[in-house]
């Protein structure tokens, strides 16, 4: 089984419809932690599948999406102010 790694995905999409479709696709692979930021445990294969889907939605020159991969050594350095904390358990997500 491929190793799942902790990913942070942030986006800025101007069009309401495309933004909603991207958010729905992200809900399948991660957990919303802010309006336009998701976190999730994905292996490289699942990330590649998601990126192919996302490429069809992030199409306007002003749109952007970024995926950050946090290593196990980096995750403890994540700082959160407020109610939510980064997900500690690698949840099973079927894509």
- Residue 82 in any domain: the answer is no
- Residue 39 in any domain: the answer is yes
- Residue 95 in any domain: the answer is no
Number of domains in the chain: 1
Give the residue carrying structure tokens 């690698």: 90
Structure tokens at 82: 């407020």
pLDDT recorded at residue 36: 95
Question: Is the model's pLDDT at 72 over the cut of 60?
Answer: yes
pLDDT recorded at residue 86: 55
- Residue 64 in any domain: the answer is yes
Question: Is the model's pLDDT at 94 over the cut of 60?
Answer: no
What's the half-sphere exposure (Cβ side, CA atoms, 13 Å) at 76? 2
- Residue 40 in any domain: the answer is yes
pLDDT recorded at residue 79: 76
- Whole-structure pTM over 0.75, yes or no? yes
CATH number of the structural domain spanning residue 53: 3.30.70.240
User: What is the length of the chain?
Assistant: 95
Q: Which domain holds residue 70?
A: 5-77
Question: Is the model's pLDDT at 61 over the cut of 80?
Answer: yes
Q: With bands split at pLDDT 50, 70 and 90, how would you rate the model's confidence at 78?
A: confident
Strands of the sheet containing 64-70, edge to edge, are 31-34, 37-42, 5-12, 64-70
8-43 pLDDT per residue, tens: 999 999 999 999 999 999 999 999 999 999 999 999
- Residue 42 in any domain: the answer is yes
C-beta of residue 86 within 8 angstroms of C-beta of residue 77? no
**Start-end of H helices in the chain:** 16-29, 44-55
């Amino acid at each position: 089984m491929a190793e799942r790694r902790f990913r942070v995905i942030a986006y800025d999409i101007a069009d309401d419809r495309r933004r909603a479709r991207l958010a729905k696709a992200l809900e399948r692979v991660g957990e919303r932690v802010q309006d336009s930021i998701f976190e999730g445990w994905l292996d490289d294969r699942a990330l590649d599948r998601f990126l192919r889907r996302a490429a069809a939605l992030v199409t306007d020159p002003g749109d952007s999406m970024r995926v950050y991969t946090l290593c196990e050594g980096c995750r403890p350095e994540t700082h959160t102010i407020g109610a939510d904390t980064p997900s500690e358990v690698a949840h099973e997500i079927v894509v």
